[in-house]
Every structure is written in structure tokens, then in C-alpha cells.
Amino acid sequence: MKNKRICLSAGILSLTSCVITANAAEVEKKQERPNVLFILADDYGWNDLGCMGSKYYETPNLDRMAANGVLFTNAYATCQVSSPSRASIMTGKYTPRHGVTDWIGEKWGEDWRKMNRHSKVLPAEYAMELSKDEYTIAECLRDNGYTTFIAGKWHLGEEGSWPEDHGFMINKGGWSAGSPKGGYFSPYKNPKLEDGPAGENLSMRLGRETVEFMKEQKKKKKPFFAYLSFYAVHGSIETTQENWEYFRNKADSMGIAKKGFAVDRTLPVRQTQDNPVYAGLIRQMDDAIGYVLDNLEKLGLDKNTLVIFTSDNGGVTSGDAYSTSLLPLRGGKGRQWEGGIREPLLIQYPGCKNPGSKCDVPVIGTDYYPTILDFAGLPLQKQQHVDGVSIMPLLNGGNIAERSLFWHYPHYGNQGGEPCSIIRDGDWKLIFYHEDLRCELYNLSIDISESEPLNIQYPEKVKELKGKLDEWLKDVGAKMPVADMEYNPKEEAKVKLKWKTKVLEQKEKERLNMLRKDWKPNKDWWGSMITID
């Protein structure tokens, strides 16, 4: 009997061990977290890609992502310039709440006079770095077992407020600068990114860094948050000789317009998508995205990874490199119209119910934080992402509650933007200008180009939306510009006349010159002739 008891006990222990092992495996399976790959382009316009209607730019990899996921037609950044919208992605808050309301490095207050713009108001003070009090999406995911990684642009403060100070465990290329200081080909002049071989392409390098990171995390069997934040397609724009020639010839075959610019209130605004250097820069970024997506599939990670692609603000139609046209949208980066704030948004995820579908529901940059947590099965941080909602229901064919969207930009953009606050409520959009306290009312369902204000026809709607906007500005503690007591209207008129004449003439010449068969770029970046496979 003693031997039988021993055998029976051993059998029970063996069975118990099997049950424990099975339960542990089941628990581990349930606890497995999906990965997140967030791809952010810089200054990339709403229709600067094929799947959004461009006939000139070629983006086969982004188009593939749209075919495999959901394309949002009414997606917005929280600001018309970069640092504020990037801070909103990290925090889930509107710009007045986190305090970064302009690109970090721009002048404000009395210092603005040094810009010699002779403006009516002095721009409001803003935070020069992302606050340590914010609990970023990277910190939240890191604290929940994720390995967090950034490759590329940060632009949310000087040293001490770099990615590693806000939850990123690995940083490849993120620092104070908002543009690629060394250009788009090595050497990069980036203290957080080692130089590659001479002529190595920056976008592809960031893609490769991201792939190497994903491979390492697969080996370790750890969930990851990869933030691939391209410097592309920010100016100064560069591409290879091969790309320039290809897109120069394409523009020629499509018919080169004699005039490519028109003045819209302040600066000349590009009216044509025919910039061969910009098109080549887009191709370089799309190639890098394709490399990352291909490897995601090869590694089998596509079955457990949420992929988001968007931009931080509108494409550059005026100012900077005057790179693109976003028609029928009005304006572009730095400006208060749709071209400045409406962005491309593609989301690809495992188990997509309607691949290739479009969603017209308005969403905004504050929504990414809660959406990522929702997808990962993690508790929402409602005290943090107070202005965002999870858009997972939209991805699954459902709806989210109706809401108004808001913007506050108490600054002047070097692309021609004016100090303003904005509300979108349904199809209605109201822009309030801080210079002269006027409003512009548009209905985007009938006038996506914002060509004709409807203030006279709908005075009650103006009053209603202005009231909602005022209430929101008060609630978020928005800082306001103030009148400049040294304002000189004659001097301002001289500046604006120069923009409308000399600058317009200069940009028309530059555009046509770049499309000449014998055009040559600045010699300081033609190391790009080196091709890296």
C-alpha cells in the first residue's frame, strides 16, 4: 500500500504540475501585449500621397498600408506647426494645456520685434520644453512592460528634455533640432545618431534602426513601442540626382504650368504639385516605410502590431521650401486653414474588419494616446489624456461620441499664419483672429477650400461657436497675444508688399529653374549621388 500511495502521490503531483504549467502558459498568452509602431512624418501634407489623390508623388508603400487598413479623411494635428502637435501626441492634451503652443525656438513677446515683421500683436509666451510633469505615452508603455524606442525627430526641448527624459529607453537621432542639421545624407551632424557611410540616406537609416530594434525585441519576446519619427519631409529638401531627374521628367510629361504661385493674404502659396526634389524626398521616406513594413511581415510581427502613420502638421505651401500644393485645401503648414492642420492618417492593425476602407469621422492628435492603450488592453489614463478619446470603435466599424475640436495658436507662422483660435463643430469651422478680433465661419461640407466666409448668412452660428470657443479657451487657461504698442502699420505694409512682389517673383523663378533639364542643386548636398541599397 505504501508503494501505491507513493505512486498515487507522484501521479497527483505530475497532474498538478501539468495543470500549473498549462495555466501558466494560458496566463502568459493572455498577458501577451501587442506591439505599437507609430510612424510620424514631418511637414507632410494631407494629399501628398497617392491614396489621397496625388497624381505626381509616388507612395506605393503608404498606399499599401491604406489598402491593408483604414484611411481617415478628417484627421487633424493639434497645431499647424510641429513642436505643439508632437507634444500633444506624447501627452494626449491640447496645446494650451501642455503649454507648447509654438515650435520650440521661435521668438515671443517683445523679442518678436527682432523678426522685423512689424506685427500688430506680440505673440504669447509658450513652454520651451515638454514638462516633466507630463506622463507621456512612452512612459506609460514603459511602465507596463514595453521597450520604448525612438528613431528620428524629437524637437521638444534642449538636453535634459530629450526622448530618454520622457520615457524612451532607446534613442536613435532624437534631440533638440527640428530639422536635419546635416541634411538628408550622411554626415548627419546629429549627436544622437552616428554617421553612416558618406551619402547614406537619413530616412532609410532611421528605417533600418527601427527594424534592428524590432528584431531584437522579437528575440527577447518583449512587446515594443517604436516611434519612427522621420525628419522628412522638412526643409531644406534634398534628394538624389536620379530621383530629381525622374520627377522632373514626370512633371514635364504632365505639363508644366507657367505660373505656380498665388498670394493668399500674406505670402505666395504654391498652387502646383510639381517639385521634383520634394517628390524625390517623399519617395525616399516611402522607401524607408516599405522597408520597415516588409520586415514587420518577415518577422511575423504584423500579426500583433498596431501601425499608425500620420504627420505633425500640414505640408509646406508657403514659407520654408515652398514645397507642395494641397489644393483643394487652403493654405499649409503654419496657417489656420485646413491645409495647415488636416493630416493624412493611415492605421493598419491585426484583424482589420474592413481593409481599404475610409473613415470620415473627425479625429485629432490627442486621440493616439488613449487609442494605443485601448488597443494594448491597458487601463486608460484619463487624468493625462484629458482631450483624447480612443478611436478603436471607428477602426471596428463603430462610432464615437460627437464632439467639438479645438486649436489655439497665439503666434505668427513664418509660413504666413496669423494668431488665431479655431473650433470645428460638425461640418462648421470658426476661426477667431487675435489681431483684430474678427471671425471667419466656414462649412467644410460645402466649401472644403474655405473660400467664402458665411458670417453674414449665419450670424447665430458665429455667436454659438464663438461662445463655445471662448469657454474652451478659458477652461484650458490659454495664453493670449497682446497688442504691440510700437506697431507701425507703414512698416508692416512694406514687409507685406515685398512678400507679394519680390518674394512671389523669386519663388516663380526658383520653381521653373528646378524644372530645367540643366538644373543643378547646391553642391553641399550632392553627395546624395551615392546610392545605398
Tell me if residue 367 falls in helix, strand or coil: helix
Cα–Cα dist 390/380, whole Å: 9
Quickly tell me which residue has 506609460 as its cell: 140
Q: Judge whether 121 and 148 are in contact, CB under 8 Å.
A: no
Looking only at the bridges linking them, the beta strands covering 70-76 and 357-359 are parallel
Q: Judge whether 66 and 334 are in contact, CB under 8 Å.
A: no
Length of the chain: 533
What is the Rg, in whole angstroms, of the alpha carbon atoms belonging to the chain? 25
pLDDT tens figures, 44-88: 999 999 999 999 999 999 999 999 999 999 999 999 999 999 999
Angle CA(152)–CA(44)–CA(216) in degrees, nearest 5?
A: 30
CA atoms within 13 A on the CB side of 308: 25
pLDDT tens figures, 375-430: 999 999 999 999 999 999 999 889 999 999 999 999 999 999 999 999 999 999 99
Residue 403 confidence (pLDDT) = 98
Cα–Cα dist 425/244, whole Å: 42
Looking only at the bridges linking them, the beta strands covering 170-172 and 147-152 are parallel
Q: Judge whether 63 and 51 are in contact, CB under 8 Å.
A: yes
Looking only at the bridges linking them, the beta strands covering 70-76 and 428-433 are unpaired
Angle CA(41)–CA(72)–CA(262) in degrees, nearest 5?
A: 65
> Where do the domains of the chain lie?
34-401+491-521+524-528
Residue 523 confidence (pLDDT) = 67
CB neighbours (10 Å) of residue 29?
8
Give all strands (DSSP E) within 271-372, no chain letters.
305-311, 342-348, 357-359, 363-364
Residue 520 confidence (pLDDT) = 84
* CA–CA distances in Å: residue 221 to residues 29, 33, 170: 12, 10, 17
Q: Helices 82-91 and 368-376, interaxial angle, to 10°?
A: 30
Bridge partners (DSSP) of residue 224 are 147
Residue 27 confidence (pLDDT) = 36
Residue 526 confidence (pLDDT) = 45
Of 342, 339, 487, which is closest to residue 417 (Cα–Cα)? 339
Q: What is the DSSP string of 494-524?
A: HHHHHIIIIIHHHHHHHHHHHTSTT----GG
Cα–Cα dist 198/406, whole Å: 45
Dihedral of the alpha carbons of 64, 278, 414, 512, in degrees to the nearest 10? -140
Tell me if residue 531 falls in helix, strand or coil: coil
* 144 burial level (CB within 10 Å; 0-12, 13-18, 19+): middle
Residue 524 confidence (pLDDT) = 58
CB neighbours (10 Å) of residue 71?
22
Q: Tell me: cis bond preceding 419? Omega within 30 of 0 counts.
A: no
Residue 521 confidence (pLDDT) = 81
Q: Judge whether 419 and 413 are in contact, CB under 8 Å.
A: no
* CA–CA distances in Å: residue 465 to residues 136, 350, 425: 31, 39, 8
Q: Which amino acid type is present at position 375?
A: F
Of 56, 144, 87, 46, which is closest to residue 342 (Cα–Cα)? 46
Please state the φ and ψ torsions of residue 122, each to the nearest 5 degrees: -100, 125
Grid cell for residue 299? 518577422
pLDDT in tens, the chain (533 residues): 333 333 333 343 343 344 333 343 333 444 489 999 999 999 999 999 999 999 999 999 999 999 999 999 999 999 999 999 999 999 999 999 999 999 999 999 999 999 999 999 999 999 999 999 999 999 999 999 999 999 999 999 999 999 999 999 999 999 999 999 999 999 999 999 999 998 899 999 999 999 999 999 999 999 999 999 999 999 999 999 999 999 999 999 999 999 999 999 999 999 999 999 999 999 999 999 999 999 999 999 999 999 999 999 999 999 999 999 999 999 999 999 999 999 999 999 998 889 999 999 999 999 999 999 999 999 999 999 999 999 999 998 899 999 999 999 999 999 999 999 999 999 999 999 999 999 999 999 999 999 999 999 999 999 999 999 999 999 999 999 999 999 999 999 999 999 999 999 999 999 999 999 999 886 655 454 443 33
- CATH pick for 34-401+491-521+524-528 out of 3.90.1150.10, 3.40.50.970, 3.40.50.300, 3.40.720.10: 3.40.720.10
Looking only at the bridges linking them, the beta strands covering 420-425 and 428-433 are antiparallel
Give all strands (DSSP E) within 238-323, no chain letters.
261-263, 268-270, 305-311
Q: Which amino acid type is present at position 3?
A: N
Tell me if residue 458 falls in helix, strand or coil: coil
